[in-house]
Amino acid sequence: MSSESVTESDGGVAPTGDAPTKQERVAASVRREQILAAASRVFGERGYIGATTDQVAKAAGISQPYVVRMFGSKENLFVEVLDRALTKLVEAFRGALADVGDDRGDRELVMSRLGAEYADLISDRGILLSLMQGFIAGHDDVISAKAKAGFLAIYKLLRDEAGLDPDEIVDFLAHGMLFNTLIAMHMVDDFHSGDPCVSELLTHTFRTKLDVVVNTVTGISASEAHAAAEAPHTRATA
């Protein structure tokens, strides 16, 4: 790589002979997060194999060479996306435990708060979907190692910091994977379809966070979606 420093210009990069200013360094860190957020969505929807750095660049509104210049390869970019998702998940769980405070002995309360924090991560849909893509990318040794280490770190947090026993952790993680699966299948988009099995499954999976999840994914609340699904039936029987 050239010894010339890198600055941004119209979403790309431009070499200069001067050291980057503080403003340029801040701008680069902001741009880095912008790329990682976009990459989370692209990888989450298309998977590691299906996604390209060009698609990530377009989603981030920047040039593809800038993505490659910053991250080096698609594999490195995915590993950083996975690291970002795991970090945000751990931060969310620790925040929930801090809110519980002295009531950590109440296992039901602890799992409820942790579950609520997990559901709130839907606001950045790419986080949950990119986690799932990382967990199934066992064919890539680098990604697999990162995913396994991250999953075990979550397990240890739930055991050592949240105080859950192994059976409770397994139930909690299984529920979380169901959560991810329904989002990945776009099942939430069908909440308003009128199929009672869909609404029942989603209601019992997302529980008190149903409105948050449905509203984030579809743009309308669960109650509004339910009313919209019931309207044709109501008119037909009137």
DSSP track, 63-83: -HHHHHHHHSSHHHHHHHHHH
d(CA 46, CA 40): 10
- pTM: predicted TM-score of the whole model, two decimal places: 0.78
Question: Can you tell me whether residue 163 is helix, strand or coil?
Answer: coil
pLDDT at 13: 44
Domain ranges in the chain? Answer: 5-185
Mean pLDDT by 10 residues, the chain (238 residues): 37 49 67 95 95 96 94 96 96 95 88 92 89 92 96 97 96 94 92 91 92 87 64 52
β-partners of residue 7 are 14
pLDDT at 36: 97
Q: What is the DSSP string of 30-68?
A: HHHHHHHHHHHHHHHHHHHHH--HHHHHHHHTS-HHHHH
Find all residues with CB under 8 Å of 19, minimum gap 6, and list them. 5
Nearest by Cα to 222 from 85, 122, 111? 122
pLDDT at 37: 95
Contact (Cβ atoms closer than 8 angstroms) between residue 119 and residue 206: yes
pLDDT at 125: 82
Nearest by Cα to 178 from 111, 122, 123, 132? 132
d(CA 118, CA 180): 10
CATH number among 1.10.357.10, 2.60.40.3680, 1.10.3720.10, 1.10.10.10, domain 5-185: 1.10.357.10
